Chains A and B, each alone.
Chain A
């Protein structure tokens, strides 16, 4: 894959990923990952200190599916949605079909009341597999810049 094509492929994956979340198509969210996979939301503080606990962790698509089903059927939280703003993706490394990338994000959270506020900023440190027809995340590490979460984090970043 030539460099320009690779850049296009990974950026399109990131854009589709963010759009699925922002459009409340959460049921599609696990389909962006390989099986097994690794997804974690963690603060920069814990990440830098090499502490393993974050805000959410999954190492299977099943755990991602469970997250969505819990948000839909079990958890109680004020209606809200996100708007992701992504930076261009930086390809950090590329070995065969495996690509390591970094994409900066800002997530604006809009609550039912109408408040629009910057909820989280940070970076996606991703391992993307580009061998199939659709590129997939083998690993997506969401490193939040701030150690503080306002009220609660329900929807994935």
Chain B
């Protein structure tokens, strides 16, 4: 269903949003988001491809394809993006995608990293939103520029030297979010595998917190540990894992955003498993 009849028309809105800022936490329900949209007190960020956005999107959403974030992936670059999207410091942000939450997670993490704490992921993908018959529109929303301060949140980020040093500390656990066969093929030595496929549920991008907590505890990982998540290339799958672990109540979680791609390119050690032809089990 569509709220407006205009198609693909650019509309620059006055930024007279309701400054009674709602504090979001990790996941934003569809109900909450709809209320915030009605109250005009949220910035909805669509992380899908630009052409998908132009087809149909959640009302008031702005378009921010992941590629844009990755091409400006420095703290200053992210601040620039926030300012251009008309997002001031305290404004609640809700991100969504159609890639089981992984792209939305990576963007949300970038915002939180540069200090925009009031950011959450929509509990579902755009397809699920659409299938429920919730409101959509086609307008290309653009808002006046705002000022945003830079306040780096070092707590949630790990770089290669941090990961290298962390391996010596038993209370720091490295979690690989890639699928099982990729993990078996090669991974950072000592990493534990929690594939992103374990984290989603049928109706939403993440399972119930108690289930995710149980997966962690089953692996003998203390929920007091520091967890560093990584994946194959740019921190999307591990971005989703970052939020899954936060949702499960873990206090100290970091994203190794440059992930295994950088680790390998630097010639760092890998653990490999070559004693079985597991790839031949695939039916593709």
Q: Do A and B bind each other?
A: no
Residues of B within 8 A of A (CB): none
